[in-house]
Amino acid sequence: MIMRILGEGQYEVTDEHLNRLNELDTVLQSAADAGDEAAFTTALSALLDAVRSLGTPLPDEQITPSDLVLPDADTSLAQVRALLSGEGLIPG
């Protein structure tokens, strides 16, 4: 799966890591639902860090459609709430 972090770049993440990313996404969804700004910031940072560490960065010159677009670390709780579906940022 190709994941883009806005303003940063794309990462190829293998299916074996999707369960871990979904766990982090669930924490993010819960923090957003609760309106807990501190927990939200921590959860978003953890999710983005996991994508960076578990994924393989794609070269900037490689143009590949993204399967999933994640907000950058500076995205507000209100902005992410608008992006969240019933499944969070990462479907599945």
Least confident of 23-27, 50-54, 58-62, 83-87: 83-87
The domain tally of the chain equals 1
Q: Does 66 fall in a domain? A: yes
CB contact burial 51-86 (16+ within 10 A = b; e otherwise): beebbeebeeeeeeeeebebbeeebebeebeeeeee
Q: Does 92 fall in a domain? A: no
Per residue in 57-77, pLDDT (tens digit) is: 999 898 899 998 899 999 888
Q: Does 91 fall in a domain? A: no
Per residue in 9-42, pLDDT (tens digit) is: 999 999 999 999 999 999 998 998 899 999 999 9
Q: Does 21 fall in a domain? A: yes
Q: Does 46 fall in a domain? A: yes
Q: Does 32 fall in a domain? A: yes
Q: Does 89 fall in a domain? A: no
Sheet containing 56-57: order of strands: 56-57, 9-12, 2-5, 68-70
Domain span at residue 29?
2-83
Task: Return the higher-pLDDT residue of 14 and 81.
Answer: 14
| Residue 91, pLDDT score | 61
pTM of the predicted protein model: 0.87
Q: Which amino acid is at 50?
A: A
Q: Does 22 fall in a domain? A: yes
